[in-house]
Amino acid sequence: MSAGDKQERQPGTTESGLPFEPVYGPDALAGFDPATQLGEPGDFPYTRGVYPSMYTGRPWTMRQYAGFGTAKESNERYKQLVAHGTGGLSVAFDLPTQMGHDSDSAIAHGEVGKVGVAIDSIDDMRVLFDGIPLGEVSTSMTINAPAALLLLMYQLVAEEQDVSGDQLTGTIQNDLLKEYIARGTYIFPPQESLRLITDIFSYCRAEIPRWNTISISGYHMAEAGATPAQEIAFTLADGIEYVRAAVASGQDVDEFAPRLAFFFVSRTSILEEVAKFRAARRIWAHVMREEFGAKNPKSLMLRFHTQTAGVQLTAQQPEVNLVRVAVQALAAVLGGTQSLHTNSYDEAIALPTEKAARLALRTQQVIAYETDVTKTVDPFAGSYAVESLTDQLEAEARNLMTQVEELGGAVSAIEAGFQKNEIEKSAYRVALEIDHDERVVVGVNRYKVDEEEPYVPLRVDPAIEAQQCDRLAKLRAERDQDAVDRHLAELKKAAEGSDNVLYPMKEALRARATVGEVCNALREVWGAYVPPDAF
């Protein structure tokens, strides 16, 4: 028997391990109450979408995640994306920036500009957004532990463009709890991270009211191996922890909750992904109303950004990824996403080329303007299969959320290693299925070719690190060091007490303090997180 003749994995279960029936009929919806479980689009519990018209009024925001090398190179890529029709920018930062280190720090050696743009100070931020009207674009920044710093630098650059804070729109990821679970780019311990997040909520309510203050992320958990049910369960559990922390700090839930946003993955398993998004909206609406007493409808709406599944891209036959991304993007749209990033087909090999990034954007544009899926709201509503899967996913996610609560909430569960352990077990199961040919991955364990076509990847110039170091040396020579020291001292004083740390942080950044210097000042007061399994 040839490899192509092997029996494929039988469709008996979903990715979450739930029963997947060959045929669904009316019995699948026994006990289903459309009035309470479905509702109308734009109405509680928002199963059918958070807005009445959804894409019949206008399509989702088409974002492209980009950033590499220097701020100048990334700025050029952003201008290309805007010219090709991108509706929103999404900034990728390099690892040193994500970890709060300057490019000339010893720990940053070899990583400067590699997986995103290197931003060391407001000087770099000015270059990054040069010629881009910040009052007219929506910008998402994938940054977590130093999210406050990058947001404040963005605001300072906007002020230099005569754009006030109430004109700025966008999102910072700012989701620290998922870093302890799945990603690892944390700096401070969990409780201090929660303090910083609630300070951001309070600051933005007063200074940047249209900004989405956090993007609570399941994407990275999914990339680490979480099932769809685990993805939404652990993400919503983190969301609950953030809301509790903000309420405990004295903030009214209806003042900050409307600016919360979420971030999910979209896999190739279309039906389960559609059901996942619908279940997540329904759970969040009930949690916000019943646990936190939220009254503003916007506090109950789970608005989310979606990115297609990078973990499903293959280096083998990379052109096949174009098909995968199109299927994943379609699932996100059918599930009611508010914004979408489509991965480039060559990302399993290297940073995307300009052509690949353009094709990724064109994928969204074809779905938006050449298909009929945007002509009706929630086209799967009433589907025997999808409604049944939605109910199953809701029940499984709630079960996992209950286990998190029994451990004392998201932070306590993280400290016990619960979420990480559950995700790792799921990832191991999938790896075994692929290794044993029980799960087909086209081009990897099935339908392989003897010889791959040559591909010339985009590479980051290693000289960028030296260039960033030179920029930092020049900055430190030119700036008023006494002013920097004074503002950093004020930041540490705020961190030691209960004052909002963003106000002195902004002044330190205005004085040209670097990302590393600001983060080090906070490290001196709050310490740095060391995971339990590192001892």
pLDDT tens sequence across 228-260: 999 999 999 999 999 999 999 999 999 999 999
Question: Is 531's pLDDT higher than 90?
Answer: no
Mean pLDDT of 12-30: 92
How many residues comprise the chain? 535
Provide the 10 A C-beta neighbour count for residue 400.
22
Kindly report the pTM of this predicted structure.
0.91
Rounded Cα distance between 292 and 296, Å, is 11
Of 3.80.30.20, 3.30.160.20, 3.60.20.10, 3.20.20.240, which CATH number belongs to 41-435?
Answer: 3.20.20.240
pLDDT in tens, 302-347: 999 999 999 999 999 999 999 999 999 999 999 999 999 999 999 9
pLDDT over threshold 80, residue 88: no
Strand order in the sheet with 214-217: 211-212, 169-172, 138-142, 88-92, 61-66, 339-341, 304-308, 260-266, 214-217
Select from 283, 288, 285, 385 the least CA-distant residue to 334.
Answer: 385
User: What's the chain's average pLDDT?
Assistant: 93
CA 95 to chain centre: 16
Residue carrying the six token digits 């004020």: 490
Q: Please state which of the ranges 77-81, 90-94, 213-217, 481-485 shows the lowest mean pLDDT.
A: 77-81
pLDDT of residue 2: 39
Task: State residue 465's pLDDT score.
Answer: 95
Domain boundaries, the chain: 41-435
